[in-house]
Amino acid sequence: MITALVSLSLLLSAFGQERDAPFVPSPEPVVEAMLDIAEVGPDDLLIDLGSGDGRIAIAAGKRGAEALGIDIDSRLVARANWLAREAELSPRVRFRRENLFDTRLRDADVLTLYLMPDMNLKLRPRILNEMRPGSRVVAHAFDMGDWTHDGFTRVDERRVYLWIVPAVAGGQWRMALPGGGAATLTIEQRYQRISGTLDAAILTDAMLRGDRITFTANGRRFEGLVGDRTIEPAPGDAGGWRAER
């Protein structure tokens, strides 16, 4: 970790005039670990912020994914597009010169990052507000502050983190119960960590992963899918209930 910070700091002055972050490429084994932990495949659109020479997006393209690399350095963008064409991955894999803080994140299934810690934290609100629940975020070396990671792996001394973007489940819900009863479901949320009550019953084993919420109340296990205004029973749940904001 110290080595990575020193390397980034040494290169910052050289690239700072044109780049939001210094270009320090992720080693190929780290790239593969990032794609593995996010389970990148043909159905995914991967966006790589600070794409540099394009190696993450190109590796994703070789797995069948669509990929978009974003970088502020026009020379690196040109080289990455050339490498994608040479690998016969263009236009499925493409690169664009853009400030990474202006990039639309909503369409991404997977977001990859190798940025300075302060940049990760600056991006965090946009990730949580703009990306769809269940989208995956992978970062090499640096975390997201108090947003606890959902997955972690190590390649030699290098760290790779995974987060699953959580749905917005916090607040009060009016819940129709099996048998015709009703109750108030109150959820307190901090990122993917949740707690709460169903009327007077405290929720136990409460979990939120993407849009899938699970909890136990009054001896009954609930598994649901969180939408903007509703929570519907998930496949495998016994059903007969529904919650609305």
Does the pLDDT of residue 187 top 70, yes or no? yes
pLDDT digits (tens, 9 = 90+) for 118-138: 999 999 999 999 999 999 999
- Are 140 and 192 in a shared domain? no
Let me know whether 152 and 188 are in one domain.
no
Clarify whether residues 226 and 157 are in a common domain.
no
CATH number of the domain within which 106 lies:
3.40.50.150
Q: CA-CA distance, 89 to 41, in Å (whole number)? A: 15
How many structural domains comprise the chain? 2
Domain end residue (candidates: 110, 134, 164) = 164
> Which pLDDT score, from 0 to 100, does residue 13 have?
37
Q: Residues 159, 176: one domain? A: no
Q: 161 pLDDT exceeds 50? A: yes
Same domain, 179 and 235: yes
Per-position DSSP letters for 22-83, written without gaps between them: ---PPPHHHHHHHHHHTT--TT-EEEEES-TTSHHHHHHHHTT-EEEEEES-HHHHHHHHHH
Q: Domain range for residue 231?
A: 171-244
**Integer CA distances (angstroms), 193 to 54, 79, 90, 214, in order:** 34, 42, 40, 12
Last residue of a domain, one of 118, 134, 164: 164
Average pLDDT, the chain: 93
Whether 153 and 220 map to the same domain: the answer is no
24 and 68 together in one domain = yes
pLDDT band at 24 (very low <50, low <70, confident <90, very high): confident
Query: Are residues 144 and 227 located together in one domain of the fold?
Result: no
- Mean pLDDT confidence for 55-72: 99
User: Do residues 124 and 148 both lie within one domain?
Assistant: yes
* Structure confidence at residue 171 (pLDDT): 98
- Identify the band that residue 4 occupies on the pLDDT scale cut at 50, 70 and 90: very low
Mean pLDDT of 202-219: 98
The 10s digit of each residue's pLDDT in 83-93 is 999 999 999 99
- pLDDT confidence of residue 43: 97
**Strand order of the sheet with strand 151-155?**
93-97, 66-71, 45-49, 110-113, 136-140, 158-164, 151-155
153 and 235 in a common domain? no
Domain final residue pick, 138, 164, 190 = 164
- Whether 71 and 18 map to the same domain: the answer is yes
The per-residue pLDDT for 19 is: 52
Q: Kindly state whether residues 31 and 147 are assigned to the same domain.
A: yes
Report the range of poorest mean pLDDT among 17-21, 36-40, 184-188, 224-228: 17-21
3-state class (DSSP) for residue 200: coil
